[in-house]
Amino acid sequence: MPKNTEFVKFDKVDKSYDGKVLVVKDLNLNISEGEFITMLGPSGSGKTTCLMMLAGFETPTNGEIYLDSNPISNIPPHKRGIGMVFQNYALFPHMTVYENLAFPLRVRKVQKDEIDKKVDKALSMVSLSGFESRMPAQLSGGQQQRVAVARALVFDPAVVLMDEPLGALDKNLRESMQYEIKHIHENIGVTVVYVTHDQGEALTMSNRIAVFNDGKVQQLSSPDKLYEEPVNSFVAEFIGENNTFGGEVTDISKDVCKVKLQNGEILANPVSVTSKGDKTTVSIRPERALINPKDKMDNNQTGKIEEVIYHGDHTRVRLDLLGNKEFILKVPNSSNELDLKLGNEIKIGWNSQDARALDPK
């Protein structure tokens, strides 16, 4: 059976709370069945609003949302059959774990033994079997989180929404929960719409990521593409680390362009510049610029070391390069023959393909 690529569809959705500012602008987004899609963006970018509109707690000011080809704007939340995991888990504090999980089944008038079976299954899925009679307050943060996930899945919803579910957990737990949620998704194949402001989380878990800023989807693509090939400088800045040069295009051909900087000139990959004289921001990932490159590279510059920070597995080197004093390099710990001393001049090289000339900031 071919998968429905428009299982969830935002069609020209606008949302405004006060009639003056659009929180979400002309959102068009298709989510396929069984996909894990993440809405990533800084706070106030409209990602949570989108989720709330999908869940039914907010109504679109304009446009329509379709679930499995049915418009859902006029369907109240409790009839949408969408599971949701909330930021603060929203476990019912007066009910036991069992009762929490049984709640969606009981309101659906499921038989008692059927409920028992499903609750058992859901709890074993999040490896919390035997916790049925605990109260939420007796569980640790991670355990509460798992219960919340189990509760959102126990009634076999078609779509599960997760609103920054790992935000309150500490770093280690957050990472292990990321994998756990990812595996649950792979095992049961439910469609997941996940909201986060943590790019690492988005990159590890998702099939596709929609980067939100200013009420708009800036880029919608797979994690690797998003990181390797950001389409604009916001995405480049927001995802991962990034070195930038502001300048002006002086020469342009099909896949390389010359960018004149304040003091110097570099070759770059023309992504969003089209003609001579365009202002641009060139973005280079720190790991794409190499020290003393052995292979031939078409950009070769010399920079002065301003700062060296030891990070265990790698060393961060801050350079003064072409007038940019914030140029960061990541040097793997294996290359310890390098002489990284403050004030030293070193040779840097990168391919023009990796220097993406994007829209100006």
Partner 1 sequence: MSNETKQILTTDGIPLEISLKKAERKNKIKAFLLVAPLLLFLIITYIFPIGEMFTRSIDDKMITNMLPKTFKSMETWDGKELPSEEVFASFLSDFKILVEKKEHGKLAQRLNKEKNGFNTITKKLFRQVKRNKIDETQSIKEQIMKVHKRWRNVEYWQAIKRTAPPYTSAKYLKAMDMYLNEDNKITQVSEDRRIHRILWLRTVEVAFFVTVFCFLMGYPIAHLLATLPMKYSNLLMICVLLPFWTSLLVRTASWMILLQQQGVVNDFFVLIGLVSDDNRPEMMYNKVGTYVAMTQILLPFMVLPLYSVMKTISPSLMRAGKSLGGTPFVAFWKVYFPLTIPGIGAGCLLVFILAIGYYITPALVGGASGTLISNQIAYHMKTTLDWSFASAMGLMLLGGVLVIYWLYNKLVGVDNIKLG
Return the number of the residue (104 or 349) whose C-beta is nearest partner 1: 104
Return the number of the residue (59 or 333) whose C-beta is nearest partner 1: 59
CA distance linking residue 126 with residue 129, whole number of Å: 8
* Nearest distance, CB of residue 152 and partner 1, angstroms: 8
Among 21, 59, 92, 298, binds partner 1 (CB under 8 A): 92
Return the number of the residue (56 or 223) whose C-beta is nearest partner 1: 56
Among 4, 87, 207, 301, binds partner 1 (CB under 8 A): 87
Return the number of the residue (92 or 179) whose C-beta is nearest partner 1: 92
Return the number of the residue (190 or 220) whose C-beta is nearest partner 1: 190
Token readout for 335 is 């290359």
Q: In the window 135-194, what residues touch partner 1 (CB under 8 A)?
A: 151-152, 155, 161
Among 8, 29, 53, 55, binds partner 1 (CB under 8 A): 55
Residue 261: exposed, middle, or buried by beta-carbon count in 10 A (0-12, 13-18, 19+)?
middle
CA distance linking residue 251 with residue 234, whole number of Å: 24
CA distance linking residue 68 with residue 172, whole number of Å: 37
Contacts for 358 with CB less than 8 Å, ≥ 6 apart: 230, 231, 232, 233, 236, 271, 272, 280, 281, 282, 283
- Assess 77 for contact with partner 1 (CB under 8 A): yes
Quote the Cα angle for 39-43-45, to 5°. Answer: 60
Quote the Cα angle for 113-115-120, to 5°. Answer: 100
133 CA to centre of own chain: 36
- Assess 349 for contact with partner 1 (CB under 8 A): no
Token readout for 38 is 């993440």
- Assess 59 for contact with partner 1 (CB under 8 A): no
Return the number of the residue (94 or 117) whose C-beta is nearest partner 1: 94
The percent helix, strand, coil of the chain (3-state, each to 5) is 25, 35, 40
Identify which range of 89-97, 129-137, 241-249, 253-261 contacts partner 1 by CB under 8 A.
89-97
Among 24, 31, 37, 84, binds partner 1 (CB under 8 A): 84
Return the number of the residue (152 or 319) whose C-beta is nearest partner 1: 152
* Nearest distance, CB of residue 104 and partner 1, angstroms: 4
Pick left, alpha or beta for residue 55 (phi over 0 → left; psi -120 to 50 → alpha; otherwise beta): alpha
Among 19, 93, 312, 343, binds partner 1 (CB under 8 A): 93
- Assess 247 for contact with partner 1 (CB under 8 A): no
CA distance linking residue 154 with residue 184, whole number of Å: 12
- Assess 17 for contact with partner 1 (CB under 8 A): no
- Assess 56 for contact with partner 1 (CB under 8 A): yes
Return the number of the residue (40 or 148) whose C-beta is nearest partner 1: 148
Identify which range of 82-90, 117-125, 215-223, 333-341 contacts partner 1 by CB under 8 A.
82-90
- Residue linked to tokens 């610029």: 289
- Assess 2 for contact with partner 1 (CB under 8 A): no
Contacts for 14 with CB less than 8 Å, ≥ 6 apart: 22, 24, 25, 26, 27, 60, 61, 62, 63
- Assess 88 for contact with partner 1 (CB under 8 A): yes
* Secondary structure (H, E, C), 207-254: CEEEEEECCEEEEEECHHHHHHCCCCHHHHHHCCCCEEEEEEEEEECC
- Assess 41 for contact with partner 1 (CB under 8 A): no
Return the number of the residue (59 or 250) whose C-beta is nearest partner 1: 59
- Assess 103 for contact with partner 1 (CB under 8 A): yes
User: Would you say 47 and 38 are in contact if contact means Cβ atoms under 8 Å apart?
Assistant: no
Binding-site ranges for partner 1 (CB under 8 A): 55-57, 76-84, 86-88, 90-94, 103-104, 107-108, 151-152, 155, 161
